[in-house]
Amino acid sequence: MTAAPDSHESIPSGISRDQGAVLPDRAAVQRRTVNVLMAAQVVIGIGMGAVLSSGGLLIEHLTGSEAAAGFATTLVTLGAALLSVPLAALSRARGRRAGLATGWLIASAGALTVLAGAALGRAPLALFGLLLLGAGTAANLQSRYAATDLAEKDGRARALSLVVWSATVGAVLGPNLTGPGAAVARALGLPEASGTFVFSCAAFLAGAAVIRARLRPDPLLLAARLDAAAAPARQARFLTRMSGALRHVAASPSALTGLTALVLGHAVMVSVMTMTPVHLAHHGASLSVVGFTISLHIAGMYALSPLVGKAADRMGRVPVILAGQVVFVVATLLAGTAGSRQWAIAAGLFLLGVAWSCATVAGSTLLSESVDAEHRSEVQGASDTLMNLVGAAGGALSGAFVAFSGYGGLNAAAAVLVVPVSACALYFALRRR
């Protein structure tokens, strides 16, 4: 059996032949794509969850600075911003398999670099490794769009949310590996907070292997073949097309609403989450308590996403975005006034994750469906870049906010970001009416 002429891939279930032509069964390939992406996210979640819980603690150990601890998540987020566009360009040129697998391979190299920095006691080397780990975040974000490449309009939010949800098991498990990670680190003669990066490296390698072996046919390449109008556009230079795509977004109120919800929602989540492990540690919380709190936060981000996707398909994208802004306010109020009460911080972080899920699932779906297929890949890459740049700024400033105004001041500043999102969403809703 020969491969499809432009993909050089074997033809699995969901693809049939008729008089020498390859006839794709779009629905069957879509089901297979979502299942493979979900399987990859289960293991990838372990890698990202471990990074979130231990990165700041490791940098604080290496530098002795609370402010420097905030740069751990900042650099991961900045790395995602820097690598989102190159990975999106790679996906457009060679398919989702190439883009996702490459991102997770770079992230595994980043985990090894962090371990080397911990072993040598060199904070700059560990920080560079965290920057490379941002490729894992960039690939994670792009995998949710891969779930919509072949989806029908009334099922896009559900498909996207299922891929987001599938990270729950691994992402919740990852932060709780701080205890076993500490034991591994002691056995290797490393700082205790670095042990989880061993698990991260293995998880990223496993996720890349799943994508390379099982994501066939490639959903983005197949979607381009099915959409004859989009085929000529693939010949243009990616960056030139991305500039046009951003102008396309600016001219569309619905796309602009989705982009605003994505970018500022991510900034709220990253800025508060970045300093929570350090805040807990300074109030006497153990590594296990820190890991459990971050696990609850990640569960909020991912576990309810199928319900969020279902609500976005049935009720509309904008109502779910607005609901997320309300939950953001409640979350920051609860966490910001918690003081040393660990249960209140944990509850606030859980709600912070739920709010992020509402903004991300509904915002991503609204943005993706508001632009035509010709611009979609570039818009997705640009949105991920903006998300992570603003998130990186929030993470970088979070340490300074805590130093000058405390953890409560950080939460208050983050809550202000719901105002422009709410205004944009309400304007779009009123204009549509």
What confidence tens digit (pLDDT) does each residue in 201-219 have?
A: 999 999 999 999 999 899 9
Residue 240: the pLDDT is 53
**Residue 76 and residue 132: Cα distance in Å, rounded?**
7
Instruction: Encode pLDDT of 305-315 as tens digits.
Output: 889 989 998 89
Q: Mean pLDDT lowest for which of 59-73, 136-150, 408-422? A: 59-73
CA distances from 364 to 30, 54, 164, 351, 390 (A): 18, 28, 11, 20, 16
In DSSP terms, which residues pair with 58 in a beta bridge? none
User: Is residue 229 in a domain?
Assistant: no
pLDDT score recorded for residue 2: 38
* Whole-angstrom distance, CA of residue 188 vs CA of residue 71: 25
Q: Is residue 58 within 8 Å of residue 192, measured between CB atoms? A: no
Report the mean per-residue pLDDT for the chain: 83
In this structure, are residues 261 and 421 in contact, taking their beta carbons and an 8 Å threshold?
yes
Overall average pLDDT of the 375-382 stretch: 78
Q: Say how far apart CA 74 and CA 56 lie, in whole Å.
A: 10
Q: How far apart are CA 68 and CA 278, in angstroms?
A: 11
Strands 21-24, 15-18: parallel, antiparallel or unpaired by DSSP?
antiparallel
Average pLDDT over residues 27-54: 85
In whole angstroms, give the CA distance from residue 49 to residue 387: 19
Once rounded to an integer, what is the mean pLDDT over residues 328-346? 91
Question: Do 13 and 32 meet the contact criterion of CB atoms below 8 Å apart?
Answer: yes
Q: How confident is the model over 137-181, as pLDDT tens digits?
A: 889 888 988 988 888 877 888 888 888 888 777 766 776 777 788
Q: Higher confidence at residue 92 or residue 67? A: 92
Find the domain containing 401 and state its range: 24-223+235-432
C-alpha to C-alpha distance for 57 and 192, rounded to whole angstroms: 9
204 in Cβ contact with 107 (< 8 Å): yes
Round to whole Å and give the CA distance between 92 and 78: 22
Instruction: State the pLDDT at residue 66.
Output: 66
Question: Does the pLDDT value for residue 56 go beyond 60?
Answer: yes
109 inside domain: yes
List of residues 6+ apart from 64 with CB closer than 8 A: none
Q: Which residue has the higher pLDDT, 78 or 208?
A: 208
Read off the CATH number of the domain in which 203 is found.
1.20.1250.20
Asked if residue 79 belongs to a domain, the reply is yes
Cα dihedral value 220, 226, 227, 229, nearest 10 = 120
Residue 346 located in a structural domain: yes
pLDDT of residue 238: 52
Which pLDDT value is given to residue 140? 87
Residue type, 44: I
For range 376-403, the mean pLDDT: 82
Cβ neighbour number for residue 244 with a 10 Å cutoff: 13
Report helix, strand or coil for 215: coil
Residue 302 tokens, joined: 């991912």
Residue 9: inside a domain, yes or no?
no
Burial of 190 by CB count in 10 Å (0-12 exposed, 13-18 middle, 19+ buried)? buried
* CA angle 239–383–427, rounded 5-degree value: 125
Q: Are 275 and 400 in contact (CB under 8 A)?
A: no
Q: Distance (Å, rounded) from C-alpha 359 to C-alpha 365?
A: 10
> How far is 130 from 72, CA to CA, in rounded Å?
7
Number of domains the chain contains: 1
Contacts of 78 (CB under 8 A, 6+ apart): 131, 134, 388, 389, 392
Cα–Cα distance measured from residue 235 to residue 420, given in angstroms and rounded to the nearest whole number: 37
Q: Which residues contact 305 (CB under 8 A, 6 or more apart)?
A: 161, 162, 164, 165, 357, 361
Residue 4 covered by a domain: no
- Helix, strand, or coil here: 22? strand
pLDDT of residue 342: 86
Binned at pLDDT 50, 70 and 90, residue 17 comes out as very low
**Residue % of the chain over a pLDDT of 70:** 87
